[in-house]
Amino acid sequence: MSTEIASPAARLGERLAAAERTVLLSGQHMGPAERLEAEVRGVWAERASLENLLTRPGDFWDFYLPVAERIAARRPGPGHRALARLEAAGLVWAHVTQSVDRLHQRAGSPEVVEVYGNALSARCERCGERYGLGEVADLVAAAADGVPRCTTPGCGYPLRPSGTLWNEPLPPEAVSRAWELGGQADLFVILDSELRTAPMSLLPSVPLARGVPLIMVGEVATQYDRYAAMVVRSPSPPVLEAVLARLGLEPDPGAEG
Ligand SMILES: [Zn+2]
């Protein structure tokens, strides 16, 4: 363990142990490793948009499905496992995430508020039926126009991803839950989130306005750093692993690796 991380990890561990209601906001990715390819990011705003889904659904799914399949193929990393272990040990009271890959849940995080939904399922907006990605792929392959449609008898409505699309409002129930949790926290920890996009960029101001300490862990500076009780300029996985070690907790061997 590097000394650069050891000391902040010790202080973070003490803070977590002392707090009663630590609310944690995790970013889209834990650390830098699993970002989408540059060419996908470049056209994401256009081809993965609600407008494209509504006007050119064949093109939308042609682009979106393989990206979602790559997201689904990701595996939880050491940071996901370390965080799940801290949650299991009762050191995190609530977990809000900006990730859409469900890796926290697969690593064992018991309850995660997904403010962007997730990329691993689709739903019918007419009858509410939900479809896993594999089912969607089968429906796309079987459709002459490449558009998956609801299989509920008498429905047949075109499906949409369960997750939030570019420029689309976030699911209101998840956002109000996140705000409610932010208002109850006595410690607020932000992991690997650049906090650039509203409304989520505003969430830390909820605990901050009540005088609740903020702890920022991540490689990128944010607008909240100067108000934070502690800033750890590092990707979160090695920090979380160091916190586990300081607290004498082992990573959960049963978690998916
Ligand atoms: Zn339907």
CATH number of the domain at 154, please.
3.30.1600.10
Number of domains in the chain: 2
Last-in-domain residue among 138, 161, 184: 161
Interval between CA 160 and ligand 1 midpoint (Å): 11
Examine the domain organization and report whether 181 and 232 are in the same domain.
yes
Dist. CA 32–CA 48, nearest whole Å: 22
Interval between CA 139 and ligand 1 midpoint (Å): 13
Task: Give domain status of residue 254, yes or no.
Answer: no
Examine the domain organization and report whether 153 and 187 are in the same domain.
no
Examine the domain organization and report whether 135 and 97 are in the same domain.
no
Examine the domain organization and report whether 142 and 196 are in the same domain.
no
Examine the domain organization and report whether 12 and 82 are in the same domain.
yes
Last-in-domain residue among 161, 186, 211: 161
Examine the domain organization and report whether 87 and 189 are in the same domain.
yes
Query: What is the value of pTM for the model shown?
Result: 0.90
Contact 192, 235 (CB under 8 A): yes
Dist. CA 61–CA 1, nearest whole Å: 44
**Angle, CA of 13, 85 and 180, to the nearest 5°:** 75
Q: What is the pLDDT of residue 29?
A: 86
Examine the domain organization and report whether 186 and 239 are in the same domain.
yes
Examine the domain organization and report whether 131 and 234 are in the same domain.
no
User: Structural domain of residue 155, as residue ranges?
Assistant: 35-73+122-161
Interval between CA 159 and ligand 1 midpoint (Å): 8
Task: Give domain status of residue 108, yes or no.
Answer: yes
Examine the domain organization and report whether 61 and 101 are in the same domain.
no
Last-in-domain residue among 132, 161, 190: 161
> What is the DSSP secondary structure assignment for residue 76, as one 8-state letter?
-
Task: Give domain status of residue 106, yes or no.
Answer: yes
Interval between CA 48 and ligand 1 midpoint (Å): 21
Can you tell me whether residue 20 is helix, strand or coil?
coil
**Which residues, other chains included, contact 202 with Cβ-Cβ below 8 Å and sequence gap of 6+?**
none
Interval between CA 94 and ligand 1 midpoint (Å): 33
pLDDT digits (tens, 9 = 90+) for 55-102: 999 999 999 999 999 989 989 999 999 999 999 999 999 999 999 999
**Which residues, other chains included, contact 206 with Cβ-Cβ below 8 Å and sequence gap of 6+?**
179, 182, 183
Interval between CA 120 and ligand 1 midpoint (Å): 18
Examine the domain organization and report whether 151 and 133 are in the same domain.
yes
Task: Give domain status of residue 257, yes or no.
Answer: no
Residues written for the chain? 257
Tens of pLDDT, residue by residue, the chain (257 residues): 566 788 999 999 999 999 999 999 999 888 655 566 767 777 888 899 999 999 999 999 999 999 999 989 989 999 999 999 999 999 999 999 999 999 999 999 999 999 999 999 999 999 999 999 999 999 999 999 999 999 999 999 999 999 999 878 898 999 999 999 999 999 999 999 999 889 999 999 999 999 999 999 999 999 999 999 999 999 999 999 999 999 988 766 555 54
Per-chain residues with Cβ under 5 A from ion ligand 1: 124, 126-127, 129, 150, 152, 155, 157
Task: Give domain status of residue 235, yes or no.
Answer: yes
Examine the domain organization and report whether 127 and 219 are in the same domain.
no
Task: Give domain status of residue 255, yes or no.
Answer: no
Examine the domain organization and report whether 156 and 241 are in the same domain.
no
Instruction: Give the CATH number for residue 4.
Output: 3.40.50.1220
Task: Give domain status of residue 256, yes or no.
Answer: no
> What is the DSSP secondary structure assignment for residue 170, as one 8-state letter?
P
